[in-house]
Chain A
Amino acid sequence: GDSVTQMEGPVTLSEEAFLTINCTYTATGYPSLFWYVQYPGEGLQLLLKATKADDKGSNKGFEATYRKETTSFHLEKGSVQVSDSAVYFCALSDRSFNKFYFGSGTKLNVKP
């Protein structure tokens, strides 16, 4: 079945460091891919998405490119801030049923 695998955390970085959180997926058909962010005590917020191969989603300095050949959707940011500290979830959506499958989440800690 469909599934998402993302790198385990926590990831600890200094402010202004480069961030990469790896995400790979398994899916039948052509899913849409997402990154969600969860701040402490809050619900999930959509960070960015891509709906087809080679699409690049971007928001707030974060980027991820839908790579069909490597079945990946890695999240990157060139310069992280303390305010980026949160848990990041990679997810895919099954177009047929609109179900979402989430990765296990990666906690990011950014230190000043």
Chain B
Amino acid sequence: GAVVSQHPSWVICKSGTSVKIECRSLDFQATTMFWYRQFPKQSLMLMATSNEGSKATYEQGVEKDKFLINHASLTLSTLTVTSAHPEDSSFYICSAQARADTQYFGPGTRLTVL
């Protein structure tokens, strides 16, 4: 089946630094990838939709300058959390769309900002 990987699986960083998270579709090409944020015991919140070769579309309330998304190829999208602060600590999950109405999710990345 379709597999989506994320790297790193967890990361700890100091406040003020930037962190990059990679999302890869391993055995299929994904023209669209999505980034979600999951707070403890809460649902996934869609942050942005990433289309290969174009700018990401951000959901209302998500700071595009803080959460930089790059979808450089059909198998790779990256999320960079810039100038991270403790309130950015969360579980970030990506998904890749293989075809309409079907998304495959990565295992998630746990970010802790000290």
Interface residues of A (CB under 8 A from B): 4, 32, 36, 41-46, 49, 51, 89, 93, 95, 97-105
Smallest distance from the beta carbon of A55 to chain B beta carbons, Å? 12
Please name the residue on chain B nearest to A107 by beta carbon: B41
Chain A residues positioned under 8 Å from B106 (CB to CB): 43
The answer to whether B107 and A102 have CB atoms under 8 Å apart is: no
B interface residues, how many (CB within 8 angstroms)? 23
| Chain A minimum-CB-distance residue to B44 | A102
A43 to B97 Cα, complex, angstroms: 15
**Other than the known A32-B101, A99-B46, what 18 A-B pairs have Cβ atoms closer than 8 Å?**
A41-B107, A43-B4, A43-B107, A44-B44, A44-B93, A44-B95, A45-B105, A46-B102, A49-B101, A89-B43, A93-B101, A95-B101, A98-B32, A98-B101, A99-B34, A100-B46, A102-B44, A105-B42
6 contacts between A and B (CB under 8 A): A36-B105, A43-B107, A46-B104, A102-B43, A104-B41, A104-B43
Q: In angstroms, how far is the closest chain B Cβ from the Cβ of A52?
A: 11
Report whether B105 and A43 are in contact in the complex, using a CB–CB cutoff of 8 Å: yes
Partner among A45, A89, A101 whose Cβ is within 8 Å of the Cβ of B46:
A101
Asked whether B78 is an interface residue with its Cβ less than 8 Å from the other chain, the reply is no
For B108, the chain A residues whose CB sits under 8 A away are: 43
Kindly list chain B residues whose C-beta atoms are within 8 Å of the C-beta of A51.
Answer: 101
| Chain B, Cβ-Cβ closest to A4 | B43
Q: Is A43 touching B93 in the complex (CB atoms < 8 A)?
A: yes
Q: Which residue of A lies closest to B45 (CB)?
A: A102
Partner of B107, one of A42, A49, A101, A104: A42
Residue of A41, A43, A46, A99 most packed against chain B (CB within 10 A): A43
Closest to B104 in A: A46
Q: Which chain B residues lie closer than 8 Å to A102 at the CB level?
A: 36, 43-44
